[in-house]
Amino acid sequence: MTIENLSANKSFGGWHKQYSHQSLTLNCSMRFAIYLPPQVSSGEKVPVLYWLSGLTCTDENFMQKAAAQRIAAELGIAIVAPDTSPRGENVADDEGYDLGQGAGFYVNASQAPWDRHYKMYDYVVNELPALIEATFPVSDRRAISGHSMGGHGALTIAMLNPQRYTSMSAFSPICNPMTAPWGKKAFTAYLGKDKATWKNHDASELMRQATQFVPAKVDQGGADDFLVEQLKPEVLEAAAKVSGYPLVLAIHEGYDHSYYFISSFIEEHLRFHATHLYK
């Protein structure tokens, strides 16, 4: 598969690069960013943390605001950040910020007009890792993390594919999208009205029924404006108690939904993943 390098910036001895490629899964051109730590210059294959961003975001939000490169360089971890949805003139969209372009929700849409392009689950789980592992000096050791909508994606994708990921984490995830306005709108559009199909993409439902475990870390800001209506971490915590899931969930008072919160705790997340990626 042909990929095009769009930019390259040296950072903490490694390289942050942006690429575009034609996605067969999404039927459009896609962009992703990758941070390659300095260890790759000596020929070492490094493990990868996949980062899934939230509503309205692109690969640039995390790479420019999270301040993750310094610790990734120290730990020898590559970071891959895809876009949050398919994009383009012929890609279905919606007037709202919480549906359509910028709001793929990391599911495979089954409903028209979304089903032609919106297959973000398959893209993140299969196509993108295959491309990354065939193109860059990385191993097949993978972890996954994300924020808000991307936190929902990281948790659900890891629990649906426990053999593919060593660990999972999330900042301010949509923990119970079946009962949250964001989730109900997106799931109805992408998956249809049958709520039985929604359960496969609800982190709390998956965690409650889980029999295979992926080590999990979740951090939530106590001053997050979306905490009560949209995010519902207490539902995820209750689900973990039912199945005995190895979830570590912390509420940080005073922190909001922004990248000020993420950058304050990203080092903890990277070190958490490193213990499992290098185990």
Domains plus CATH for the chain? 3-278 (3.40.50.1820)
In tens, the pLDDT along 146-198 reads 999 999 999 999 999 999 999 999 999 999 999 999 999 999 999 999 999 99
Q: Note the pLDDT tens digit of each residue in 4-53.
A: 999 999 999 999 999 999 999 999 999 999 999 999 998 889 999 999 99
Direct distance between the N- and C-terminal alpha carbons of the chain, in angstroms, rounded to an integer: 31
Flag whether pLDDT at 133 surpasses 70.
yes
Q: What percent of the chain has pLDDT over 70?
A: 100
Q: State pLDDT tens for residues 206-260.
A: 999 999 999 999 999 999 999 999 999 999 999 999 999 999 999 999 999 999 9
Q: pLDDT tens digit string along 57-105?
A: 999 999 999 999 999 999 999 999 999 999 999 999 999 999 999 999 9
pLDDT of 44 reads: 87
Quote the CA–CA distance of 117 and 107 in Å, as a whole number: 11
**Mean pLDDT, range 254-272, rounded to an integer:** 98
Catalytic residues: 148, 224, 257
pTM for the whole structure: 0.97
